[in-house]
Amino acid sequence: MESETTRSQDEKRTIIVDGQPLRIAIRRGDGTRTPLLLMNGIGINLEVLQPFVDALDPAIEVLRFDVPGTGGSPAPRIPYRFSALARLVGLMLNQLGYQQVDVLGVSWGGGLAQQFAYHYPERCRRLILVSTGTGALMVHGNLSALRKIATPRRYKDPARMAQIAGDIYGGKVRKQPELARTFAETAHAGSRLGYLYQLLGPAGWTSVPWLHRIRQPTLILHGDEDPLVPLANARIMHRLIPHSKLYIFHDGHLGLGTSAPELGQVVDQFLSAPSPP
């Protein structure tokens, strides 16, 4: 087991879950709030979510992990389907001693969050879906932007990331190049094989047939300038998930980081609101 000391004082280490090494980070809370589990986008290491974690109420315990093949988690021997990844997440929670969590998934991680909430409803108290969709049956984004995320090259070449970030992610990074540079400096890609496995994980997957069965209170956050995942997808999920609320923010696909103060406040209000009957 490896451990790290970081500026944010988050506890970071590598654990072995069902034979798979997983690099995790835990920001300890005060024990009064339900812990929050974050599931990141494709090819993204857990550090990229730091601005959002910093924007949350310090009382909330926050758990992050690098998906196999990303950041500090090595690629598995064979690709994980979303169902298998959801099971792996459940085993990780068991090992870390979490019985129930709130779950936030962004982009690719939003699909995994839907899968986890559906298969393990007793372990997911509330669900937050950010800049995501319903998989194969969704409104697809700009073809040019989709082509540019087909490989992890942008994570390995900060200059290229800064050059194309506006076209891929939209929103604030179009007019504020320093945001793209910060993102490029923070993002550390895993292996090409790991990235390919993440692409294969949700191949053919869709949540459309069962979204109406999700009973957790659900908050859907989506930017109005997202080239990768059009806003229409958030509206579709809002109609399909019974106890859902839609919040539209003025930003793009990276809004969870570039609009962290705003979204951190919205998420905190959602998590602390009284439970519905």
Position 178 in a domain: yes
pLDDT digits (tens, 9 = 90+) for 181-191: 888 889 887 88
**Euclidean distance between CA atoms 198 and 71, whole angstroms:** 12
By C-alpha distance, which of 140, 139, 129 is closest to 245? 129
Position 135 in a domain: yes
By C-alpha distance, which of 57, 24, 60 is closest to 40? 24
Position 189 in a domain: yes
Is 3 an active-site residue? no
Quote the number of domains for the chain.
1
**Euclidean distance between CA atoms 111 and 108, whole angstroms:** 6
By C-alpha distance, which of 119, 118, 117, 124 is closest to 98? 124
- pLDDT attached to residue 1: 52
- pLDDT attached to residue 219: 98
- pLDDT attached to residue 156: 79
For residues 252 and 171, the answer to whether their CB atoms sit within 8 Å is yes
- pLDDT attached to residue 159: 79
Structural domain harbouring 72:
2-272
For residues 49 and 64, the answer to whether their CB atoms sit within 8 Å is yes
Position 15 in a domain: yes
For residues 227 and 145, the answer to whether their CB atoms sit within 8 Å is yes
pLDDT digits (tens, 9 = 90+) for 11-66: 999 999 999 999 999 999 999 999 999 999 999 999 999 999 999 999 999 999 99
**Euclidean distance between CA atoms 174 and 188, whole angstroms:** 21
Position 277 in a domain: no
By C-alpha distance, which of 174, 232, 189, 236 is closest to 211? 236
Position 37 in a domain: yes
Position 238 in a domain: yes
Spacing of C-alpha 180 from chain mean position: 18
- pLDDT attached to residue 148: 87
Options 3, 73, 83, 107, the catalytic residue: 107
| 77's tokens | 């021997």
> How many C-beta atoms lie closer than 10 Å to residue 27's C-beta?
21
- pLDDT attached to residue 152: 83
Position 108 in a domain: yes
| 273's tokens | 């609101």
- pLDDT attached to residue 129: 98
Q: Would you give per-residue pLDDT tens digits along the chain (277 residues)?
A: 555 544 447 999 999 999 999 999 999 999 999 999 999 999 999 999 999 999 999 999 999 999 999 999 999 999 999 999 999 999 999 999 999 999 999 999 999 999 999 999 999 999 999 999 999 999 999 998 989 888 888 887 877 887 889 999 999 999 998 898 888 889 887 889 999 999 999 999 999 999 999 999 999 999 999 999 999 999 999 999 999 999 999 999 999 999 999 999 999 999 999 987 6
- pLDDT attached to residue 211: 98
Alpha-helical regions (H) of 120-157: 143-148, 153-156
**Euclidean distance between CA atoms 11 and 65, whole angstroms:** 12
Residue 81 sits in a domain of what CATH number? Answer: 3.40.50.1820
